[in-house]
A and B are shown apart, each in its own frame.
Chain A
Amino acid sequence: MSHLDNPFSKPSGEKVTCLEMLQVILDGEATEEQHLYFKKHMDACMPCYKSFELDMQIRQLIKSKCCGGQVPDDLVERIKSQVNSIS
């Protein structure tokens, strides 16, 4: 597959790096076409595959461990009563 078929290609025609493709994917900005291309690319590119796995693992950890805690019980009530007092 030549880089001309690469849906990540820049308008300038400059070649995209693995890192740049990976970031578009990780940042949730990739199109469906780019997702498919990257998936295929990872089959042949071990560093990309490893980086992708690592980044996804970190994200999953953050999601499960840093969505931190319950909102304090009284907070919503405090906010509601303050709003009612000024409305």
Chain B
Amino acid sequence: MEGSSRSHYSEKEKLNVFNNEFLPHINSMYNFGYRLTLDEDDAKDLVQDTYMKAYRFIESFQKGTNAKAWLFRILKNSFINDYRKKSKEPNKVDYQEVESYYNSDDVDRQITTDLRVEALQNMIGDEISNALNALDVDFRTVIILADLEGFKYDEMAKILDIPIGTVRSRLHRARNLLKDKLSEYAKKMGYKNA
């Protein structure tokens, strides 16, 4: 946390900020925690730890700035430090391998994807949720931040501590990987050319 511009809060102000600016994001925070850990109990602990850290470091939160992005950043860091090793990672893939694969000539194939809207329309909740959960956590994360939570490139760059260019390319690859997964499900459901 950047220490250059710390705010000073009285105890009453601290609770005020906590209750009015931090707690209203609990739904998004829990969902993010759950999508990262894929375990309800771990998600609860992760969210609780995050809120405790947010309270402890509240003086490095500047009033009027984006509380949600600040909280997401703490949650992401807590996840990496405390949970990543023990979290359930379905179909764990080698990140480097995926990265270089999608950096190859294949990146432009999205425009000719054979997944069709009609196939998606017959999917129930589980397929889309499983497809998202099956992605490597770095790819899953950018989809959640961009498509579920509506964060912008610059906010995601801060939350993830990566350059904006990396946010952009990772998001692009994540969308392609998600389509691959959905396409697999669609084929299983009997959609030819899905």
Q: How far is the CA of A79 from the CA of B53 in the complex (A)?
A: 11
Q: Which of B23, B129, B168, B178 contacts A65 (CB 8 A)?
A: B129
Q: Is B98 an interface residue when CB atoms closer than 8 A count as contact?
A: no
Number of B residues whose C-beta is below 8 Å from A? 50
Interface Cβ pair total, 8 Å cutoff? 112
Residues from chain A with Cβ under 8 Å of B146 in the complex: 27-28
| A70 CB, nearest partner CB in chain B, Å | 8
Contact between A76 and B110, CB atoms less than 8 A apart: no
Q: Is A58 an interface residue when CB atoms closer than 8 A count as contact?
A: yes
Contact between B48 and A17, CB atoms less than 8 A apart: no
Contact between B168 and A27, CB atoms less than 8 A apart: yes
Contacts known (A62-B128, A79-B51); A72 close to B44, Cβ less than 8 A: yes
Contact between A79 and B23, CB atoms less than 8 A apart: yes
Q: Is A42 an interface residue when CB atoms closer than 8 A count as contact?
A: no
Chain B residues numbered 117-138 whose CB sits less than 8 Å from any CB in chain A: 117, 120-121, 123-125, 128-129, 132
B residues lining the A interface (CB < 8 Å): 11, 14-15, 18, 23, 26-27, 30-31, 34-35, 40, 44, 47-48, 51-52, 55-56, 108, 110-113, 115-117, 120-121, 123-125, 128-129, 132, 143-144, 146-148, 150, 152-153, 168, 171-172, 175, 178-179, 182
